[in-house]
Structure 1
């Protein structure tokens, strides 16, 4: 018994189409393993006799009166049982289409799954939907039970047909079932003992298949993730309270709170009526900590260790299951709940909707109820999270609309920059030196405003050509102007960077800082960069507040490919260039740029004139008055 209690319980979710025998299988499992209280089965038989209805093993789990009356499982139910190997928490999830929300809730907390399929009806749409949802939620351990074999005379041929059908479907979504087991749950065939009715089957029983599931990765082995539930004030102490979702911590550890970037050391670990006082805590514990500094921390932030923080981004991909009555569509805004945090997010794009019956992508901008989709979400502020594949605890979320849960999903950063949350105190020992020449003084001497003209667009859209000609024309008129071009910068300052999403983000970050310095020097700097990610351009804008002008050099990818001035599109399509924007990597168009130039309809000269007019009119409106002022004396 001691060995048993030291083993963590494995959570198993049982899913499948309605009436395929999920609850019957669960009831039989509990009976076979001795998990039912003494007299439970007899009392249920008496209830069934009084109601004039046949006894069903499903009634063991159907706890709601409405479920007994209707013969369907509405809510998820959980119960503990154990085998000789380990304990289990088994989750019986509803199969009816109207209760998919409950099924998702149950499956979201499971470590492995059992998909039940009726041998008579075979694989149904709901069977496929459940299989895909299990895949969506990251469950990779899946056993299939082909139930009601007694209704097909224990036919090996029929079992092979159903087995082949479900195996083919699961293979298309990248799932290989650990076992496919023929069973008759009502009579106990192949549940805990091998069935004499199916001598042709030599595989494991259902219980043996459960025991064959690998133990889940212990949450303590993952990086520390401690979402803040609340902050309490007792006497002179401020206690940060929450539940450790993964990893461990100890007194003296320096914590990073994301996405705020605040840092402080743990002064003490607090518990309620706990003696002796703890100095360490691990995943699964609900604790409070006090800090050695009075930093502002609020609900929703995630505490981690400095060397392994979560991701932090405004933009991320999500694979989600839609439950809302109204369709999800691009531009709609929802409340996202992730851990203890709440964020306002907008649907940036519906990338694809998946038909779960044949896994085909449906070309639509809407996601209807009970559909599965891959979407791009954007938040108003930075969100702290992990990719679901790295840490399910902080990579899973739900969407809320008018207090109703309308969707749930998991986060992916595929093709997007890996931005890690960073401390805001990195530069505590660095003090900015104030210039004695003001920006207004420089503007008065130069007789024009400084600024950053950020030209963004696909390769071949005409950015560099326009930038160089604008520079030449402005310089001829006496402007202090300089071009920062992508290719030129990568030969020097950014020669150490490649073209991965992370390197692209760092490339743009550095250019944004350099452009800011040029602007602070009173110059007009023209930055011509693909800069495919909107979040990176927003970061460059934030580096030069009030001086940043986004110019979208617009051209269809087909036109850019036709021009292909450097032969890059052809090379990328032949596999010679990885992560090439417009071919194998995404480009996010600006939403509200200060200026848009369509080079598919304008000549280069016409495009240059548009930029020049913008510089001389829109950018310089408030310079006329200052230009009439007496220039300050300049002493060298």
Structure 2
């Protein structure tokens, strides 16, 4: 029986072996079917490769297979007796920064791969920075292709020292270094006999045991209302006055009897029941999806927030945020008008100002920038037409994150993180 779920993203430069690593995890943990592996073997032979190319287990898109690269975020799932895993295999090319942001936005851990022969590349630093920008609490620097440097401890220590110096500029709460060979399976699922000098865990052992419960905000109660449930069944008197508020817990722990406040009204009440598809539960916490039944009849709608009376989010129409622009063919500039979707609330928003564009390779702030183009990241000031209930992203990734939507096409054009006022 699995105990919990770990979401992790893989990142790094092109051809650092991300897809091969995930294929190795799936294969060695016996999470693929025999016919899937047989298909991979056949495809590998037709391409003239001597052994099964495990990267093909994740590179499902035809264009990716032809080019041998990952161009989209590929999500994969597997489980061990200890934990269930959701993997986001993100692309390495610089022009797919937006895909990396998408894949890492919900991750508990980021695995940044580095080719042992090449050492740190621009994309290695870029993806490490993006992971810290997105407040991914755990990071593993996996030094891959150790078989191609004769499993050299000296080479591993060089890369470790170089990345440690770079990481000093970033906020990485938990950083682990693991030397691996995804191709041969060294230190991926099992400890490698080829690197007796390495005394740490295998990658899978680390993924199974890294502690993530404390990373989720269990202090600030945040319950964005997604849907109001009012079943109408004339022959069922028990449902005649039923009014439930469904949504996903974004923070804190909720229990029957707890006093809560509704925003924006400010009215207080208590939780009467917490219902799920499997029946009532004694408590709810992130990321559970539940229905709250309250003791008092309050006018509550989608987009409203339920929280503690003495622990409320910021109620504001002005946002200071870091935005990754994702739209092709148009730029983000001051006075741009869009839609913003924050938790379950959608409203109109205007860009008041672009404060600076950030070079994610050098961390330089270009305060003379007048626009953000595709894949560029910058700090912006936004004005929303109605109040949002926000926390800064560093405190709560769910109530501190949002997306920007083109009102005409309904396409997602940006992703943002609410910042603390400087």
TM-score by length of 1: 0.59
Q: Is the 8 A contact 2:142 2:180 kept in 1?
A: yes
Q: Does 1:345 align with 2:342?
A: no
Which residue in the other structure is 1:568 paired with?
A: none
Which residue in the other structure is 2:236 paired with?
A: none
Which residue in the other structure is 2:303 paired with?
A: 300
Which residue in the other structure is 1:30 paired with?
A: 26
Deviations along 1:373-414, whole A, 9 cap, x unmatched?
222223222210122222222111111224222221221223
Q: CA deviation at 1:201?
A: 4.0
Question: Which SS does the other structure have where 1:29 is aligned?
Answer: helix
Which residue in the other structure is 1:311 paired with?
A: 314
Q: Is the 8 A contact 1:258 1:310 kept in 2?
A: no
Q: CA deviation at 1:25?
A: 1.0
Q: Is the 8 A contact 1:119 1:146 kept in 2?
A: yes
Q: Is the 8 A contact 1:224 1:246 kept in 2?
A: yes
Deviations along 1:557-599, whole A, 9 cap, x unmatched?
xxxxxxxxxxxxxxxxxxxxxxxxxxxxxxxxxxxxxxxxxxx
Q: Equivalents in 2 of 1:267, 1:194: separation in Å?
A: 51
Q: CA deviation at 1:335?
A: 1.6
Q: Does 1:171 align with 2:168?
A: yes
Q: Equivalents in 1 of 2:191, 2:283: separation in Å?
A: 47
- Pick which of 61-70 and 114-123 moved more: 61-70
Question: Which SS does the other structure have where 2:44 is aligned?
Answer: helix
Q: Does 1:255 align with 2:260?
A: yes
Which residue in the other structure is 2:139 paired with?
A: 142
Q: Indicate the structure with greater helix content.
A: 1
1:192-341 alignment to 2 at 5 Å? Answer: 192-211=189-208, 213-217=210-214, 219=216, 221-235=218-232, 236-237=240-241, 238-271=243-276, 280-325=283-328, 326-341=330-345
Extract unaligned runs of 5+ from structure 2. Answer: 233-239
Q: Equivalents in 1 of 2:215, 2:372: separation in Å?
A: 35
Question: Which SS does the other structure have where 1:69 is aligned?
Answer: helix
1:404-419 alignment to 2 at 5 Å? Answer: 404-415=411-422
Which of these two proteins has the greater Rg computed from alpha carbons? 1
Q: Does 1:394 align with 2:396?
A: no
Question: Which SS does the other structure have where 1:178 is aligned?
Answer: strand
- The count of corresponding residues between Structure 1 and Structure 2 is 408
Question: Which SS does the other structure have where 1:127 is aligned?
Answer: helix
- Distance change in 2, residues 1:187/1:300 (3 Å): same
Q: Equivalents in 1 of 2:41, 2:146: separation in Å?
A: 24
Q: Equivalents in 2 of 1:262, 1:36: separation in Å?
A: 52
Q: Is the 8 A contact 1:144 1:177 kept in 2?
A: no
TM-score by length of 2: 0.85
Q: Which structure has more RCO (C-alpha within 8 Å, separation ≥ 6)?
A: 2
- Distance change in 2, residues 1:205/1:269 (3 Å): closer
Instruction: Give the RMSD, CA atoms, in angstroms.
Output: 2.8
Q: Does 1:89 align with 2:89?
A: no
- Distance change in 2, residues 1:41/1:270 (3 Å): closer
Which residue in the other structure is 2:237 paired with?
A: none
Question: Which SS does the other structure have where 1:58 is aligned?
Answer: helix
